[in-house]
Amino acid sequence: MVNLDYLKNLNDAQKEAVIHLDGPLLIVAGAGSGKTKVLTSRIAHIIAKKKAFPNQILAVTFTNKAAKEMLKRVSGILGAAATGLSWLGTFHSICAKLLRKHASAVNLNSNFTIVDSDDQIRLIKNICKAENIDVKQLSPRYVLAIIDKWKNKGQYPNEVNINHKDIYEKTVLPVYKIYQQKLTELNACDFGDLILHTVKIFEKNNDIRKIYAKNFKFILVDEYQDTNYIQSRWLNLLAAENQKICCVGDDDQSIYSWRGAEIKNFLEFDKIYENTKVIRLEQNYRSTQNILSVASKLISNNQNRVGKTLKTSLEDGDLINLNCYKNGKDEAIGISDEIEKINKKFSLNNIAILVRAIFQTREFEERFLKIGLPYRILGGTKFYERAEIKDCIAYLRIVYQERDDLAFERIVNNPKRSIGDSSLKIIHEFAKKESVSLEFASKKMIEANLIKPKTKLGLTFFLDSLSKWRNDLKIKNINHVKLLQIILDESGYSAMLKNKKDLDNENRLENIKELLNAMKEFDNLESFLEHVSLATSVDQDWDGQKVNMMTMHAAKGLEFDAIFLPGWEEGLFPHQKSIEEKGQNGLEEERRLAYVGITRAKKIAIISFSMNRFYQGDWIDSMASRFIDELPEDYLKKNSFFEEEKNEIEDFEFNQDIEIDEQDSVRSPGWIRYQKRIK
């Protein structure tokens, strides 16, 4: 039974977007404007008005979750009439379906295998080994990322134009050629191939392309701002016949350029498709007007955008809080205090802290553990559970306590020292037989010449290093922070992260620097290790309510009653790397990220920054983010630090230093000014 009320629940703009069925349509859907509702209602309308059969509609999403939700909603409107939406799914699932039918056109059989990431890495490792490429310097994941980039640009190996200044691309191209040959030999393809092969089939076989282009009477695309070149090209080829393509998205939420997304697909839609109608969904059903006004004013500073102004029928709501703190620790305390206040009104599940970089969660985790406030990390791992942090802790543990076999086992071959699983198994057996620690067993086996020469060399280096580090700690009285820096350098761990081209190494290095910051809060190694043990033993998987912590990237598509946005400081947000690598485009994407963060809030949004922060391994005198200057004053409520600033000397810029031990500190101008203030 068709639910004929599907149009009655739409506002004017939504209704127009649903019933406009002639020619190309771009729906500029602001945050919280009901784009999914519009897409599903549009599909239902096409079928209800008999403009096309269900199997003549192509509806594309980015995730299986979104596809299932869309199908559920359409079925809710049409009932049994929704049966037959066989072309509703993700880019990859639909392309896989097409490729099965025409596999022979790219030298595959229809029963080809789709390899997962583990299979890809294994294959790349084997190729690198055969080609004498050191995977310690060039990680298989990085190789795959470059290959994926080329595939997203629609390039087979023979079509790649490499940047000759990029030594990594020159190294990867031969690997790409062999990799692609191997996949064909194995009758297999990866996720990138699913779209690339399909596009190449359409380009080289116009008769095949026409079959599908004529069949799809209507094409609908969700989250169009996140499409890359090859996805856009695929859509172009299918829409060439009747031009009845409808793309929904928000250019102001385009934040995935690092994944290959090209905002120009959205901005130049009307150039690609003639006679495009643009409909703006500006009615927001999520946030208060004050939140929307702040977000709209901020994003208006971007030049490359279609443009829209969000409005709501909801109340104005609270002003957006803008808080300045002395340092990162005070920021964590201040936010935890605010959470405990608003927890009387909102559940913890509806409260979120959104950070620019994942290392920022550490101070909040420390604070929450201290006061017993439950939390979860969405889309990431808790700080002390991150692999690089556990590695560092293991090094410190084995230096502190030589019978710590678990720590020994974790880092004896990390970085690689030719001490493989078989060697470690032999050491284990000897230790068990003699009832001694793994370290002591290793020494005895070396003395008895029971270790293979290559393994003996690596193991001897490791054991000698342990002795040296213990001497540094106990005899030379080197403090625990400096000790970890020495260990990381002398073990080769730092070099491993710095020298290896790996996508995640930058985050790992930032996390280690944040660990060094954490260690400065403790008098000695013993107290720090005890703290870590207690922090990691706390059961954080309690049932019930938890504060959500995540990056702003991970927050896209989510909503919460209350949002906290800490760390709005230059260099951190906007992130310096983004600006250095992409210039103005990078800055605009960072601003879009800020827009995404603010618009996750339904009722409360609190932005904050600190005057002083431990960042990139050192205390820095912070400067408030340029984005803060772009926020409209009329919608902001500032904390007491701003009132105090009015009476400060003219050049004061909220950059006070943290109160740290005199002997280890380097005083900043901010610290000096702060001392003048409190005297």
Q: Identify the three-state secondary structure at position 614.
A: strand
Distance separating alpha carbons of residues 576 and 591, to the nearest angstrom: 13
- Check: CB of residue 375 under 8 Å from CB of residue 368: yes
Q: Identify the three-state secondary structure at position 16.
A: helix
Among the listed residues 36, 243, 485, 576, the single catalytic one is 36
Q: Identify the three-state secondary structure at position 12.
A: helix
Distance separating alpha carbons of residues 453 and 449, to the nearest angstrom: 9
Among the listed residues 223, 388, 391, 569, the single catalytic one is 223
452 annotated active-site: no
Distance separating alpha carbons of residues 228 and 231, to the nearest angstrom: 5
Neighbours of 464 (CB within 10 A): 10
Q: Identify the three-state secondary structure at position 401.
A: coil
Among the listed residues 37, 42, 90, 222, the single catalytic one is 222
CA nearest 304: which of 504, 61, 515, 592? Answer: 592
- Check: CB of residue 59 under 8 Å from CB of residue 70: yes
CA nearest 199: which of 259, 147, 155, 262? Answer: 155
Given its phi and psi angles, is residue 463 left (phi above 0), alpha (psi -120 to 50 degrees) or beta? Answer: alpha
One-letter amino acid identity for 207? D
H-helix or E-strand containing 351? strand 351-355
- Check: CB of residue 491 under 8 Å from CB of residue 458: no
Question: For residue 648, what is the DSSP state?
Answer: S
16 annotated active-site: no
CA nearest 189: which of 246, 228, 151? Answer: 151
Distance separating alpha carbons of residues 313 and 283, to the nearest angstrom: 8
338 annotated active-site: no
Among the listed residues 253, 288, 312, 599, the single catalytic one is 253
Q: Identify the three-state secondary structure at position 388.
A: helix
Radius of gyration of the chain (CA): 29
**Angstrom distances, CA of residue 589 to CA of 28, 147, 524, 577:** 17, 24, 42, 12
Per 3-state DSSP, the chain is made up of helix, strand and coil in percentages (nearest 5) of: 55, 15, 30
> Exposure pattern of 522-558 as b/e (b: 16+ CB <10 Å)?
beebeebbebbeebbeeebeeeeebbbbbbbbbbbee
- Check: CB of residue 641 under 8 Å from CB of residue 654: yes
223 annotated active-site: yes
222 annotated active-site: yes
Question: For residue 242, what is the DSSP state?
Answer: T
- Could you tell me the two tokens for 642? 């701003």
Q: Degrees (nearest 5) of the Cα angle 7, 253, 97?
A: 70
What DSSP assignment string belongs to 289-345? HHHHHHHHHHHTT-SSS-----B-SS---SPEEEEEEEEHHHHHHHHHHHHHHHTTT
Cα diameter, the chain: 86
Among the listed residues 244, 600, 602, 603, the single catalytic one is 600
Distance separating alpha carbons of residues 291 and 607, to the nearest angstrom: 11
Given its phi and psi angles, is residue 79 left (phi above 0), alpha (psi -120 to 50 degrees) or beta? Answer: left
618-621 vs 601-615, strand pairing mode? antiparallel
- Could you tell me the two tokens for 424? 């470690």
Give the active site residues: 35-36, 222-223, 253, 600
